[in-house]
């Protein structure tokens, strides 16, 4: 969600993420990890293209990895 915050929770074209914190939250709680990873990469690309600093996502990535 940090990357959503950095982008002002704007809509991601081509993904099922609408505008707003509720839409982003719903997406990350309802999608498979692969879809979240792909959306995260798109958001990183958007940050870089917009001149927005990409936040540290290392803590959030841990939530996508299932324990052994």
Give the DSSP per-residue string, 17-65. Answer: B-SSHHHHHHHHHHS-HHHHHHHHHHHHHHHHHHTPPPPP-HHHHGGGS
How does residue 21 score in pLDDT terms, banded at 50, 70 and 90? very high
Give the separation between CA 62 and CA 4, rounded to whole angstroms: 17
| pLDDT exceeds 80 at position 2 | yes
| pLDDT exceeds 90 at position 55 | yes
Most confident of 12-16, 18-22, 61-65: 18-22
Domain ranges of the chain: 2-64
How does residue 58 score in pLDDT terms, banded at 50, 70 and 90? confident
Could you tell me which residues come within 8 angstroms of residue 50 by beta carbon, excluding any fewer than 6 positions away?
7
Interval 1-28 mean pLDDT: 90
């Amino acid at each position: 969600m940090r990357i959503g915050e950095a982008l002002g929770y704007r809509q991601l074209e081509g993904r099922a993420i609408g505008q707003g914190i509720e839409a982003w939250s719903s997406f990350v709680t309802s999608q498979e990890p692969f879809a979240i990873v792909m959306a995260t990469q798109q958001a990183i690309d958007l940050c870089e293209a917009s001149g927005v600093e990409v936040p540290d996502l290392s803590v959030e990535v841990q939530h996508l990895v299932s324990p052994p």
